[in-house]
Amino acid sequence: MDKDQLEIYRYFLKDTIRKKIAFRFTDQNQGVPAPPAEKPAPAESKRVDLPGPKDWKTIARTDLTAAVANRKTHRVYLKNSLCLEELAYLLWCTQGVRGEITQGHAYRTVPSAGCRHAFETYLAIFNVDGITPGVYRYLPFSHQLVFEFSDPMLSEKMITASLGQTYPGRSAVTFVWTAIPYRMEWRYGLAAHKVILLDAGHVCQNLYLACEAIDSGACAIAAYDQEEMDALLGLDGENEFAIYLACVGKIKP
């Protein structure tokens, strides 16, 4: 391995950069308005209202210790569908809003450095009751799905964009988390990028644990074709790009 390259990549893992940044020059400290905490969706877009925590009837109470002990990666799923409530539950557990939304700012069910929450959640939906298969995006502030597009070749395209791994195209639903890095850079400048990745780990772990409550399994995926996945989701690959995936499907209880 190239020693200089190793140094650069290991530097990224460290927090040394914090000592080198003049935080008074970050956009936040220069008075630049904060970017939206949720990517806006066109007013005329098709939306699906999701049941919230108070409406859930099928989500079993789960012992946290058992969920942690049983969590493991599942790559093979039953043909059974997820119900809408279960999908709503997974979305709430991974990016749901906790408490009040004030001035476009909200705490969520997962932690985030500086509460900047730099992610959007896209879903390739294949087998969820009452939802036409296609690509959707979660709107945490209104707890809704917004329809993005449908594609008869979505399954095949997800597999190709996942470097031939089949489960992202054979799941009930595959989550694709994208980063909008400026949300974090606005506050932390060049110290933003490491914490974006740390944040992503929390999100996916919550997905794994939530799956334990609904007889489902998840597989985290970090090996994918960046350019193909971004193109598939219609992202510019610069200001927003895929950073992590996870597929979910029903498993034997």
Assess 70 for contact with ligand FMN (CB under 6 A). no
Residue type present at position 96: G
Nearer to ligand FMN by C-beta: 68 or 153? 68
Q: For the chain, how long is the longest CA-to-CA vector?
A: 56
Which amino acid is located at 30 in the chain?
Q
Residue with smaller CB distance to ligand FMN, 62 or 142: 62
| 72 touching ligand FMN, by CB under 6 A | yes
Candidate segments 28-36, 56-64, 70-78, 178-186, binder of ligand FMN by CB under 6 A: 70-78
Measured distance CA(129)–CA(86) in Å, rounded: 10
Rounded to a whole number of angstroms, the minimum distance from the CB of residue 101 to ligand FMN is 30
How big is the site for ligand FMN, counted in residues (CB under 6 A)?
Answer: 9
What is the closest distance, in whole angstroms, from the C-beta atom of residue 204 to ligand FMN in the complex?
A: 7
Minimum distance from CB of 208 to ligand FMN (Å)? 7
- Residues 157-196 touching ligand FMN, rule: CB under 6 A, are 165
Stretch that binds ligand FMN, among 4-12, 95-103, 176-184, 220-228 (CB under 6 A): 220-228
Instruction: Convert 66-117 into a string of H (helix), E (strand) and C (coil).
Output: HHHHHCCECCCCCCCCECHHHHHHHHHHHHCEEEEEECCEEEECCCCHHHCC
- What is the CA angle 103-106-109, rounded to 5? 175
Give the three-class secondary structure for 152: coil
For ligand FMN, give the closer residue by CB, 136 or 224: 224
Residues in the chain, overall count:
253
The region of 100-108, 114-122, 132-140, 214-222 touching ligand FMN under the rule CB under 6 A is: 214-222
222 contacts ligand FMN (rule: CB under 6 A): yes
Cβ atoms 39, 240 nearer than 8 A: yes
Per CB under 6 A, the segment of 27-35, 96-104, 110-118, 219-227 that binds ligand FMN is 219-227
CA of 238: how far to CAs of 129, 176, 253, in Å?
34, 16, 41
Q: Rule CB under 6 A: which residues touch ligand FMN?
A: 72-73, 75, 165, 219-223
